[in-house]
Structure 1
């Protein structure tokens, strides 16, 4: 059974990596064939039980069933979609706020269950409602909505769309798993109408309670540094935790504690079960009527389920609850609780309920951690107890998860065992119980004590996170090296007395010292990143790194530096940017610069910044002017600034002051032109003429019709033109006439909003271009 469930899971996993789902006809044939084969295997298995062929047939059948199950679930969910013809159109919709909203300074985001509309809309959508910034609008506060309210809105929607970059977060997959099939905004100027203040449904009542608890915590601890942590522990809402605190949690390896995770759900269940079992044994009559172990299992399951419901039954919490339910039901049914069998059944239940769970890092880490504990405790003649067992288990989990953490996050914490040794008992047995008690008893000192203890813990964690060796970071290793590392850790954690047990550590070393291949001298790699409506381009030579622009600021305290550039650079193994070029000071080009310079070492910053710009004050970063005629050579690749020229009058527009950079190697050339418009284009043609001809061009001003004049396009005559623009952006970039103009000179057009990051490899053989959405195509992309 266990191997069959693993095969089922493998089939589910394989389906999630398809670039396209099978046609319905093929899927129906596969399902029917699996059922027929299953009946045949069952009949044959009765006579040849345990035969090799029968076992192989069962495993193959389980794999096919898992694949078909995931494919059918995906087919049904993708069918609930927003037609492309309805993107960007105003639609009136009536529905209910069905989850806990996410408030911010400028507005609120919330999940909305559609009840009535004249348009063909999905059943669930994600809406953002922002405060009007128009003068005289009379709205000095962000709009507020509560779970369970029924509203009538005029909305403008788009299909699920996220930024797609190498090793980046797949936002479209996350929305698919949540069942959200369109996103959009409540339209300004169209007055929303509250139809019903409360719709009494079971989960709506829960979300309304969560909202009230969150509001009470925030009111009890106004402006408190760690109130977001307490809210996360109480109702599972982590969105109030600032990014600075998340960095500390990740560096110390305790992020799993700052949420209603499997650990906390299990802790509540075990604590309540232990108390009920202890009290149950005091009554002989109760014990004779029902065994104390079963009473404890039932009470623990109810308590864990109640806590999970209070957390909103988010997807990670659902997985934890399913695992606990399998164990509790086995105990209640009088079954022998064999660890591996329970884990396999939990895996099956999770994947039946949520086949997209295999895309989540939490899925692999939660099942992996339980499996590692079982592995550490199994096959030993004697096991440690008490604090020795706790320390041994924590060290074992830390070592065994190193390969997985490097694959999933490109990093692991070196101080994690010590940080968890302090944090696990304090958070699980003191802070979380106090927080939960404060829900039942609205007594302010309980929350204040929990907050004080959290602050005490943060002092220790901040001290550990400040160590220069707190976290190991590197590029994501290849699958073969990661597999070798996992096998090595498995060998190293075998029981004492195993021959050459510590030799398993050597299987981990190749993964730790691996670095991604770089271009050879005379070649370079350019990646136009998908940052939305903005620009960010990474250029890599044999030994140097250059970044041209830092992407936009997104608002709500986020920017491309945090969301795109730093994760991308970490995954690529880049620890230092030798030169950061900011083309000009518009926020769609410089919005992520501050986060970038705070997160990675910058050699020098080339930009024409105002004298009061805060980027000039970054310690250790040298600022140099971007001026025509500036040249440098890295690893047999030539770089030259072509614009702006100091001997020309200052341009009338800031766009025309953009730094223009040309990169040349024997295999090909690239031209990066910022947001220059027609005046700057004429100036470039006047000074350089046909010398600006390049194999690849980053199209000026995202494809605006105020740029890309006919003479300029003809002079460059590229093989490829890259448009860096945001999906359905308000400027409607790129303009169709500009798109056609570049195509007319023989260029193949590429665009980041539809194709993701664009990778350009310039070698001695020439120029090769690939789009990230083509390299890692998934069936949900574009749906």
Structure 2
């Protein structure tokens, strides 16, 4: 043995604590302090993106739909004519092919702070980047404003070879080029949106992140090939050890592939050193080793999932049931499913708290998809390691890879259509996570089968309880309206007497995580909401209804209401019918009484000679909540507002107005606003949006009639609480008010 343990045998918990503390201690010493950067201070002072000429070095890069994305480190920037030396990392978006890592450059970037958390439950992107040492976001508007100054020879060679591999895949893999690039090189920038959707809903999205599964499959393939030639075991281990760093240099340096490679290197080293029970110790050493470089990554969900999944497989593998005869086909298949189930059990709490969902069938779907992933990676690795350079043979390899990719995609396509492929979870109380973790520890450490089964039974009971009773200690007893910051779109939640109504559900994403997944559903999960009593859609633009299907798929919804004209898209009606969701088309004069809330439809008046635009046919309605009145207006503009005023429709003053069309100048019709005369005007608009919403003239007008103004681009999500006769307002930009609603 290469190392003698200071611990008594079988004291695994002490070993875990020891290495964990060592990793955190060493990591805290090496942890870099926030940079004293004049460039960072300069950007902080500005509200908008500012153009800055910078010189820097590319750390890593990858292809995207619009060009590339890179992590860069500045060396200096220019303030007027003055060159100021500076060192800070930025995440950069460029309209060019991925620049070579380690190359130096000069370019003009529009810099800003990364987007921070502005809604309850939302992922904090700025905090995540800060933990990785990245403090700024930059956008290159024109490729003419970027010049490469110097290139590292090794990096230049690797980048040219990577570009060659990428061009071959894009040219010869057709529609499957996105998934092949993701599976072989770790580049997900041009992944087809339909494929991405099915992978997410089926719970198989983790398969396209180069991770432990890929490294494990590649190592198995290498061992199989090398053992077929009866090569000495020590030499075989040495070849595999040498291969992993080479593979890491060629593919994109994702954190997941680095974690997996480190774990594999430690596992193989332990195997060479003939360590007994090396799996646990190797996992712990890998865990501590990575923490030494950055202990903050312990907060990263990907880091947690990697180690918990591996720990689950190691811990539960020998506890599997003996259903089939050893070494039979049935036994091998059952082992695959058991491995998937073990990983899913241990990662269950992280999936719920970080992603608000679990995929109950992923333990079954993962082994099925892996049947195609094995040959895909086998031929793909040959392609990467030189097969791409052999004429005709490279085409043959990519034909096989493309076919396997097509078969691989059939699995998520099928599972994504099943009802329980993805289960939305309201965020449970943290007590559930503690009990769940204790049950897992008892299952692992108990040797008595009866005690293991008892712990497993308690675990299952609390897992179900966390869904049906997410927070048994706190309740929401207040009525409120929340306008979310969804960017250049609209989405608001009305909560009254225990019922929840969504007013619009925008999707403002662009080749990124859908707004439903990034903002709306995490928000609903944070409020422990797993059912919507209704959704009101103002009109059929994506920035008002784009998340409708996704939300209805994930969350039980009683009804969807919309304007009678224009007619809703046929696919929406078909979708709602298949989901058995009641839908209502509303017209001027209609009234709804639902759960103590009275809703009056103000607009539109649908008739055959109606020539208004789709915006001007937005659903406009008033909500009477006790003695408070809210008016929602969608994207109605001047002509629609004028038609309402001239129709002599009863239009009373309102306490709260969801301002028309995000505050556009052509939505300001003074007679309409004067009639409504809102005490509070809520503007839903995207930060630094290209439409200049809300328009300064519109803001000035609302100020002139003494309306209190709130705007999501400045204030983040806005909470309005109806407290007896009083109306209380809170901005998320002032402080996170997540817990104010619970008693």
- When normalised by structure 1's length, the TM-score is 0.74
Which residue is equivalent to 1:43? none
Aligned equivalent of 1:632, options 567, 587, 592:
592
Query: Contact 2:658/2:682 (CA < 8 Å) preserved in 1?
Result: yes
Which residue is equivalent to 2:717? 757
Given the superposition, is the C-alpha separation of residues 460 and 534 from structure 1 closer, same or farther in structure 2, using an over 3 Å criterion? closer
- Whether 1:418 and 2:364 are equivalent positions in the alignment is yes
Tell me the SS of whatever aligns to 2:598: strand
Which residue is equivalent to 2:379? 434
CA separation in 1, counterparts of 2:50 and 2:550? 35
Query: Contact 2:310/2:343 (CA < 8 Å) preserved in 1?
Result: no
- Cα deviation, residue 258, structure 1: 2.5
Aligned equivalent of 2:289, options 346, 349, 353:
349
Given the superposition, is the C-alpha separation of residues 697 and 370 from structure 1 closer, same or farther in structure 2, using an over 3 Å criterion? same
CA separation in 2, counterparts of 1:557 and 1:403? 25
String of CA shifts for 1:120-171, please: whole Å, max 9, x gaps: 78744444456xxxxxxxxxxxx65553677654443322125633333333
String of CA shifts for 1:308-356, please: whole Å, max 9, x gaps: 2322221222222333344455667787775554433322322232344
Aligned equivalent of 1:528, options 452, 472, 483:
483
Query: Contact 1:569/1:575 (CA < 8 Å) preserved in 2?
Result: yes
Query: Contact 2:369/2:411 (CA < 8 Å) preserved in 1?
Result: no
String of CA shifts for 1:373-394, please: whole Å, max 9, x gaps: 34336899x9997536555444
Tell me the SS of whatever aligns to 2:120: coil
Query: Contact 2:126/2:135 (CA < 8 Å) preserved in 1?
Result: no
Tell me the SS of whatever aligns to 2:308: helix
Q: How does 1:543-692 map to 2 (within 5 A)?
A: 545-551=500-506, 553-556=508-511, 560-561=515-516, 563-565=518-520, 568=523, 579-584=534-539, 588-592=543-547, 603-607=559-563, 609-610=565-566, 613=569, 618-620=574-576, 625-644=585-604, 655-666=615-626, 668-676=628-636, 687=648, 691-692=652-653
CA separation in 2, counterparts of 1:652 and 1:466? 38
Query: Contact 1:414/1:472 (CA < 8 Å) preserved in 2?
Result: yes
Tell me the SS of whatever aligns to 1:166: coil
Which residue is equivalent to 1:480? 431
Given the superposition, is the C-alpha separation of residues 627 and 201 from structure 1 closer, same or farther in structure 2, using an over 3 Å criterion? farther
Which residue is equivalent to 1:264? 214
Given the superposition, is the C-alpha separation of residues 517 and 659 from structure 1 closer, same or farther in structure 2, using an over 3 Å criterion? farther
Aligned equivalent of 2:253, options 286, 301, 313:
313
CA separation in 2, counterparts of 1:174 and 1:254? 23
CA separation in 1, counterparts of 2:291 and 2:477? 49
Which residue is equivalent to 1:90? 51
Q: How does 1:14-163 map to 2 (within 5 A)?
A: 72-74=32-34, 80=40, 83-85=43-45, 87-93=48-54, 99-104=60-65, 108-114=68-74, 117-119=77-79, 123-129=88-94, 144=97, 146-147=99-100, 153-161=107-115
- Whether 1:701 and 2:661 are equivalent positions in the alignment is yes
Query: Contact 2:60/2:71 (CA < 8 Å) preserved in 1?
Result: yes
Which residue is equivalent to 2:127? 173
- Cα deviation, residue 663, structure 1: 1.9
- Cα deviation, residue 84, structure 1: 3.4
Given the superposition, is the C-alpha separation of residues 644 and 376 from structure 1 closer, same or farther in structure 2, using an over 3 Å criterion? closer
Which residue is equivalent to 1:206? 158
Aligned equivalent of 1:245, options 192, 195, 198:
195
- Cα deviation, residue 441, structure 1: 0.8
CA separation in 2, counterparts of 1:204 and 1:609? 59
Which residue is equivalent to 2:354? 408
Which residue is equivalent to 1:724? 684
Query: Contact 1:101/1:147 (CA < 8 Å) preserved in 2?
Result: no
Out of 230-239 and 682-691, give the one that drifted further. 682-691
Given the superposition, is the C-alpha separation of residues 768 and 370 from structure 1 closer, same or farther in structure 2, using an over 3 Å criterion? farther
Given the superposition, is the C-alpha separation of residues 205 and 571 from structure 1 closer, same or farther in structure 2, using an over 3 Å criterion? farther
Given the superposition, is the C-alpha separation of residues 83 and 107 from structure 1 closer, same or farther in structure 2, using an over 3 Å criterion? same
Query: Contact 1:521/1:637 (CA < 8 Å) preserved in 2?
Result: no
Given the superposition, is the C-alpha separation of residues 251 and 159 from structure 1 closer, same or farther in structure 2, using an over 3 Å criterion? closer
Tell me the SS of whatever aligns to 1:692: coil
CA separation in 1, counterparts of 2:271 and 2:364? 34
- Cα deviation, residue 724, structure 1: 1.4
Tell me the SS of whatever aligns to 1:182: strand
- Cα deviation, residue 262, structure 1: 1.7
- Cα deviation, residue 528, structure 1: 1.5
String of CA shifts for 1:503-536, please: whole Å, max 9, x gaps: 3233333113225699999964433122112212
- Cα deviation, residue 738, structure 1: 5.0
Given the superposition, is the C-alpha separation of residues 160 and 640 from structure 1 closer, same or farther in structure 2, using an over 3 Å criterion? same
Given the superposition, is the C-alpha separation of residues 627 and 128 from structure 1 closer, same or farther in structure 2, using an over 3 Å criterion? farther
Query: Contact 1:584/1:657 (CA < 8 Å) preserved in 2?
Result: yes
Out of 305-314 and 642-651, give the one that drifted further. 642-651
Tell me the SS of whatever aligns to 2:652: helix
Given the superposition, is the C-alpha separation of residues 184 and 542 from structure 1 closer, same or farther in structure 2, using an over 3 Å criterion? same
Tell me the SS of whatever aligns to 1:365: helix
Which residue is equivalent to 1:362? 302
Which residue is equivalent to 1:59? none
CA separation in 2, counterparts of 1:410 and 1:391? 24
String of CA shifts for 1:357-401, please: whole Å, max 9, x gaps: 233222111111222234336899x99975365554443333333
- Whether 1:218 and 2:218 are equivalent positions in the alignment is no
Tell me the SS of whatever aligns to 1:534: coil
Tell me the SS of whatever aligns to 1:118: strand
Out of 724-733 and 583-592, give the one that drifted further. 583-592
- Cα deviation, residue 436, structure 1: 0.8
CA separation in 2, counterparts of 1:317 and 1:385? 33
Tell me the SS of whatever aligns to 2:426: coil
Given the superposition, is the C-alpha separation of residues 254 and 577 from structure 1 closer, same or farther in structure 2, using an over 3 Å criterion? same
Given the superposition, is the C-alpha separation of residues 323 and 155 from structure 1 closer, same or farther in structure 2, using an over 3 Å criterion? same
CA separation in 2, counterparts of 1:257 and 1:170? 24
> Aligned pair count?
695
- Cα deviation, residue 234, structure 1: 1.5
Query: Contact 1:113/1:125 (CA < 8 Å) preserved in 2?
Result: yes
- Cα deviation, residue 249, structure 1: 3.4
Out of 649-658 and 228-237, give the one that drifted further. 649-658
- Cα deviation, residue 658, structure 1: 3.6
CA separation in 2, counterparts of 1:592 and 1:566? 10
Which residue is equivalent to 2:11? none
Given the superposition, is the C-alpha separation of residues 243 and 679 from structure 1 closer, same or farther in structure 2, using an over 3 Å criterion? closer
Given the superposition, is the C-alpha separation of residues 547 and 506 from structure 1 closer, same or farther in structure 2, using an over 3 Å criterion? closer
Given the superposition, is the C-alpha separation of residues 673 and 344 from structure 1 closer, same or farther in structure 2, using an over 3 Å criterion? same
Given the superposition, is the C-alpha separation of residues 609 and 570 from structure 1 closer, same or farther in structure 2, using an over 3 Å criterion? farther
Query: Contact 1:400/1:490 (CA < 8 Å) preserved in 2?
Result: no
CA separation in 1, counterparts of 2:312 and 2:514? 38
Tell me the SS of whatever aligns to 1:663: strand
